[in-house]
């Protein structure tokens, strides 16, 4: 299969390219890092790149929480306009297979259960509570403490920042494209991807990159809130393997004319504080510092139930948390 990989020179995209080649496919890299014209917002360049292509693995995106609301237009342009241009060109070229780099951020907060009221959905956390160090969202009915759990693909979506909103819009565009063309679309909702080759020293990288960059400078990782935020840290090679699995899935597994979503996580939730301590110990650097700071667009707990991807497509992660963090501590990072 000849597969166009947008963002194919990036952190995740480059691993997808390697995994595709290892499985006997012919990956085609489309990335502004290697060709300034290779922008997914450029309809002429995209159309040329689609010649002879059987499928598209769409990794190109502006990622991360960003720097406030000032970059909202850039997020929408790169992520949503770019996706619309790409899908239009795919429709015209007759390319009917898409795997999209989705994100767990579309859920907002994860799954919570109240002892009295069952499963509930807390609203956005209040500034006053965050300033006072009350980081756990309370039950929206009675104000009691909540127990976080795993969120499934059928959970309601509730994006809480600009990046999350654009990732959800990408899924809606992919679903509309699939309905209009009879194509097959898969969104892999990545959780916190980490591993060799992460970009360093950028506000758009994930928390693992922040911590690893600090250690490389000889500084202590700065852990926001109280470090108790639960996340699912999944290795980049496992995410790349999930892309290959989705591209190779047969018609019995995936519906034509529709978008199928899959959580893509390790299934092994950890706290941010635990990740920082494990990484610092593996690196041999300073102990993390818990700062109590917060970012308003962040959520407290978001961890995946990735059982659907395992059951329906047969994917499973191959790199455990401790092993992955040891490798990440020793690996190089790329420039922002």
Tell me the three state secondary structure of residue 41. Answer: coil
Confidence of residue 70 (pLDDT cuts 50, 70, 90): confident
Residue 75 is among the residues annotated as catalytic for this protein: no
Burial class (CB in 10 A: 0-12, 13-18, 19+), 323: exposed
Nearest to 175 by CA among 103, 87, 90: 87
Question: How far is Cα 288 from Cα 328, in angstroms, rounded to an integer?
Answer: 16
Q: What is the model's pLDDT at position 66?
A: 64
Q: Which fold has domain 2-110+151-330?
A: Rossmann fold (3.40.50)
Beta-sheet strands, E only, within 139-239:
146-149, 184-190, 192-194, 222-223, 230-231, 233-235
Residue 95 CB neighbour total at 10 angstroms:
22
Q: Indicate which residue of 75, 107, 112, 163 is catalytic.
A: 163
User: What is the per-residue pLDDT across 280-296, written as a single tens digit (0 to 9) for each?
Assistant: 999 999 999 999 999 88
* Of 132-136, 202-206, 318-322, the least confident: 202-206
* Of 9-23, 110-124, 149-163, 200-214, the least confident: 200-214
Lateral strand order in the sheet of 2-6: 26-30, 2-6, 55-58, 97-103, 184-190, 258-264
Q: Work out whether strand 55-58 and strand 111-114 pair parallel, antiparallel, or are unpaired.
A: unpaired
Q: Work out whether strand 97-103 and strand 118-120 pair parallel, antiparallel, or are unpaired.
A: unpaired
Determine what percent of the chain is predicted with pLDDT higher than 70. Answer: 98
Rounded to the nearest integer, the mean pLDDT of the chain is 94
User: What is the per-residue pLDDT across 93-115, written as a single tens digit (0 to 9) for each?
Assistant: 999 999 999 999 999 999 999 99
Q: What is the model's pLDDT at position 231?
A: 96
Q: Which DSSP state fits 106?
A: G
Q: Are 83 and 177 in contact (CB under 8 A)?
A: no
Q: Are 325 and 268 in contact (CB under 8 A)?
A: no
Q: Are 7 and 60 in contact (CB under 8 A)?
A: yes
What DSSP string describes 4-34? EEETTTSHHHHHHHHHHHHTT-EEEEE-TTT
Q: Where are the domains of the chain?
A: 2-110+151-330
Q: Please report which residue ranges of 77-158 form alpha helices under DSSP H.
A: 82-93, 127-131
Q: What is the model's pLDDT at position 35?
A: 95
Query: What predicted TM-score, i.e. pTM, was given to this entire model?
Result: 0.95
């Amino acid at each position: 299969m000849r597969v166009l990989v947008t963002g194919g020179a990036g952190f995740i995209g480059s691993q997808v390219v390697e995994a595709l080649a290892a499985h006997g496919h012919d990956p085609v890299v489309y990335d502004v890092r290697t060709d300034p014209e290779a922008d997914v917002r450029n309809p002429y360049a995209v159309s040329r790149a689609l010649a002879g292509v059987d499928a598209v693995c769409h990794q190109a995106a502006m990622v991360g929480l960003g720097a406030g609301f000032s970059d909202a237009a850039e997020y929408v342009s790169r992520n949503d306009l770019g996706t619309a241009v790409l899908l239009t060109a795919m429709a015209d070229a007759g390319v009917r297979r898409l795997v999209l780099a989705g994100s767990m951020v579309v859920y907002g907060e994860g799954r919570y259960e109240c002892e009295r009221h069952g499963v509930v959905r807390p609203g956005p956390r209040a500034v006053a509570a965050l300033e006072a160090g009350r980081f756990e969202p309370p039950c929206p009915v009675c104000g009691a403490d909540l127990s976080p759990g795993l969120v499934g693909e059928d959970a309601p979506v509730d994006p809480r920042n600009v990046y999350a909103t654009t990732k959800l819009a990408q899924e809606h565009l992919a679903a509309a494209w699939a309905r209009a063309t009879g194509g097959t679309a898969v969104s892999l909702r990545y959780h916190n991807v980490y591993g060799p080759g992460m970009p360093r020293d950028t506000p758009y990288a994930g928390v693992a990159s922040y911590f690893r960059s600090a250690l490389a400078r000889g500084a202590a990782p700065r852990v926001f809130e109280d470090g108790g935020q639960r996340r699912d840290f999944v290795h980049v090679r496992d995410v790349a393997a999930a892309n290959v699995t989705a591209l190779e899935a047969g018609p019995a597994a995936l519906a034509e004319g529709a978008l199928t979503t899959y959580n893509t996580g390790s299934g092994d939730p950890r706290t941010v504080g635990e990740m920082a301590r494990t990484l610092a110990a593996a690196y041999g650097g300073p102990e993390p510092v818990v700062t109590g700071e917060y970012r308003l667009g962040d959520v407290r707990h978001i961890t995946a139930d990735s059982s659907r991807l395992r059951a329906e497509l047969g994917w499973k992660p191959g790199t455990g948390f401790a092993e992955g963090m040891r490798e990440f501590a020793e690996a190089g990072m790329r420039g922002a």
